[in-house]
A and B are shown apart, each in its own frame.
Chain A
């Protein structure tokens, strides 16, 4: 009986295997093998993060075994270890947000001006400036961290390792991203709108303020978003310019926690960061759509989705 069912199961099994192979190799329709790779990759890239967020809702203290659901224990309830009640975690959250906000406020205007200047100013000095601007994009963060910490220690020694030093470091590495994004937009809108405004009698100031700036707004918005994201994500620069526990950001907290005995509150802290970014992302996406609505209607079919979001078209 059992032998018979086993011998029956075998060919069925084999044909299922062959069917799976034929399905993946299918030469006529869409390349299913690529579909498979793509979706497996996407699940693989997202699942660990979702599981980590899931453990921030663990009712127990474990990060590896699920002990029941608790919505708020590691966020608010736990009197000692929740993000809300542990001063170290709360401090890290505030420090991260503070750095990201200051970085955004300083790097965006500075970068927009630099982008305008470098895009329109011709000559050797501009070429050199352009080169200088590209370097921070490709310099490994550890090199920037070492050099900034040394310059603050031996040359600009009036700046101690502190929040100020961290902000200066963050602006230095985020500046170039703003320039690249804004400059891309600048090239794609061309100069005809400004020329039209000038022909119609606008002063240079009016042209800048009433024509160019509104046209640049989507790029400004994208760059603010990206500066916020890379600043909140940054670990290396924050660590090298840190003044100790008071300067700890969320990534620094996570780093030191993984090597001690972490509690789900560290996952909660990391998850809060994800909630913040997703909220900001959704908000800026709709703002972006709103700001570029005319262009979409006018049909810029050639532009890819990637270019639309602005950040990755270096």
Chain B
């Protein structure tokens, strides 16, 4: 029906774009990480040929990740924040997605519209909103002192890990709920009816039918928010700004923006990407499987 070669021709500009501005730049990170530093100007000199690579900076960075060293502490802290945020996101997000998917009935469109709303408000704007609320004399402390829950209002915005977790949860939970909702929506309702007909209580039907069927959705949605959370540096900077709550992303940010050595920053970026690569590959594997199933 269409001339041969039309589809490759259509795909070509996009693929060239991604090669030049996604794949090649990633190689640039590797070249800088395995590069040298100009002895006079102290700026990095990338080494493009793998045979000439200088392993010093990467080695130094990897050693920094060994237990007890500097990056190890940051890594453990980052993992703690991300794990806590992810757990909270799932605890809040799953019931919400489940309710909207199964029971919302006629209010479903309205609820979905309200759920989507945060997507259309800039992430930074939503962080700014919390900074306003948590500031000394802000509404949160007003409410806490007014209800006599605390006598002296806590300092939320200077190195408070709870604020960082709150910021992460508030920032990323919409990105978890939407794919979760989509996956719960895809569950065949007749399977649940069958479980109920065969005598399962609503709770058992949930545990043995809905939950296993939404496993892929839960994992996929978790990966979707875990990846950006690991690379986040602006959330801790905005709601805390203290080195005590700095995450891996902050470490990279410091090395590039006014920091001493971009080569180490590049090596850190590489280590972070390798670590996240496992998650990415898993995620893309499930997406590819799903799209193959959709095609057939």
Contact = CB atoms under 8 A, between A and B. Distances in A.
A binds B: yes
Size band of the interface chain A makes with B? 35 or more
Interface stretch (A67-75, A77-85, A117-125, A291-299): A117-125
Nearest to A304: B185
B54 to A, nearest CB: 15
Interface in A87-139: 110-111, 113-114, 116-118, 120-121, 125-126, 129-136, 138-139
A168 to B, nearest CB: 6
Most buried by B among A126, A147, A273: A147
A181 interface: no
A117 B224 CA distance: 26
A179 B14 contact: yes
B272 interface: yes
Interface in B174-225: 174, 178-179, 181-182, 185, 223-224
B288 to A, nearest CB: 8
B32 to A, nearest CB: 5
B252 A146 contact: yes
A255 interface: yes
Interface in A128-156: 129-136, 138-144, 146-151, 154-156
A274 interface: yes
B133 A45 contact: no
A165 B136 CA distance: 39
Most buried by B among A49, A130, A258: A258
Nearest to B114: A42
Nearest to B282: A138
Given A142-B249, A143-B269, A229-B119, A150 B100 contact: no
A6 interface: no
B15 interface: yes
Contact of A172 (B22, B31, B232): B22
B17 A171 contact: yes
Size band of the interface chain B makes with A? 35 or more
A48 B133 contact: yes
Nearest to A305: B112
Interface in B78-117: 92, 95-96, 98-100, 103-104, 108-109, 111-112, 114-117
Interface string A173-193: 001000100000001000000
Interface of A: 30-31, 34-35, 37-38, 41-42, 45-46, 48-49, 51-52, 55, 63-65, 110-111, 113-114, 116-118, 120-121, 125-126, 129-136, 138-144, 146-151, 154-156, 168-169, 171-172, 175, 179, 187, 194-195, 198, 204, 207-208, 229, 232-233, 235-236, 240, 250-251, 254-255, 257-259, 262, 266-267, 270, 273-274, 277-278, 281, 304-307, 309, 312-314
Interface of B: 1-3, 6-15, 17-26, 28-29, 31-32, 44, 46, 92, 95-96, 98-100, 103-104, 108-109, 111-112, 114-133, 135-139, 170, 173-174, 178-179, 181-182, 185, 223-224, 227-228, 230-234, 237-238, 241, 249, 252-253, 256, 262, 265-266, 269, 272-273, 276, 279-280, 283-284, 287-288, 294-295
